[in-house]
Amino acid sequence: MNAQDRMMSKKWGIFNHFLYGSERGYTRFRGDDPDEMVKMAEEWNEQVDSFDTDKLAATLHEIGCGYYFITVMQGTRFMIAPNVAYSRITGIAPGEGCAKRDLIRDLAASLGKYDIDLYLYYTGDGPHFDKIAGPAMGLYEDYEAGIHGKVDRNFVENWAAVLGEYALRYGSLVKGWWVDGCYAHLGYNNELLSIYDRAIKKGNPDALAAFNSGTASFVNDGDDTPVKWFENEGFTCGEDNDFTYVFKTRFTDGAQNHLLIPLGDYRDGNICAGWRNTGVRRSKEYVADYIRKNNEAGAVITVDIFVDQHGNLDPEQVEALKYIGARIGE
């Protein structure tokens, strides 16, 4: 069974945003105060250490999903596992940006007990909001100051060195990577994205990769049809805000069709505000039928849910997900 067939055989999975500050709402921490950064690093390591991977894996098995995504990082300096290349390039000591615990390896071990595949979320803009890590890596943005960085080969090669170290360490334990923030307006093209793709393949030649250029409706001027952004993508990023688009075919230009959608309820009427939120925006019956329709077309659906820093899921979502898993498994 090749990697695309394996992904399709799993039918659906779960996405977990796990970031520093996520319990208080995601904030762009820029690294202004050294003393504050020490405190934040301590809090980050406490958060990573408290994540119960066995409990999470058991719950995922109970609901019947086939794979699981977790964020390695997003925007800030904080990573969920050690990385020598990251410390070398940024000058940030181990444990002060990269967590001391290797949460990725522990997750792989826990998920492996139930044959649940592990996928990782990475980004194309790195720690771009951090005043130390961003410039050291080669990309820094400060919207308030009017600084809008763009990627170049130096940044991409630095950031790919971090990615490649992770890929080599975990090998076939990681089945694929969903790489966010690979926007054309940042300067991305096939040549630069191929550097990340090669880094991913170093550890696992069969690993699938997808590079996100934005929600489908944003990329296609209101058309929700998912796109294949990078020429060698193994699956479509398919970021969307609701369970509405239904595929008619399994592939888009050779990429396994896939959608990532938040289950969490809307907040303040904002359709984009459902990521990592509690509650259920659509009925369990609706979501189950929606996933089944896409599965019948050969597509795969990833559902973003709320998971707290200890590995606990929202009880309302667990109830809905159990129904969804049973319905899809019929």
Q: What tens digit of pLDDT does each residue of 257-281 get? A: 999 999 998 766 665 567 899 999 9
Q: Where are the domains of the chain?
A: 3-328
* pTM value surpassing 0.75: yes
The mean predicted confidence, pLDDT, of the chain is: 92
- Segment 102-128 mean pLDDT: 98
- Segment 146-156 mean pLDDT: 93
- Among candidate residues 261, 258, 215, the one with its CA nearest the CA of residue 234: 258
What's residue 215's pLDDT? 55
Q: Which token pair is 99?
A: 């967590």
Helices 153-170 and 103-112, axial angle in degrees (round to 10): 40
pLDDT of residue 28 exceeding 70: no
Alpha carbon 280 to its chain centroid, in Å, reads 20
Contacts 24+ apart (CB under 8 A), 292-296: 292/327, 292/328, 293/246, 294/246, 294/247, 294/257, 294/259, 295/11, 295/12, 295/328
Lowest mean pLDDT among 73-87, 146-160, 215-229, 236-250: 215-229
Q: What is the pLDDT of residues 31-71, one digit of tens each?
A: 667 788 888 899 999 999 999 999 999 999 999 999 999 99
What's residue 15's pLDDT? 98
CATH fold, domain 3-328, is: TIM Barrel (3.20.20)
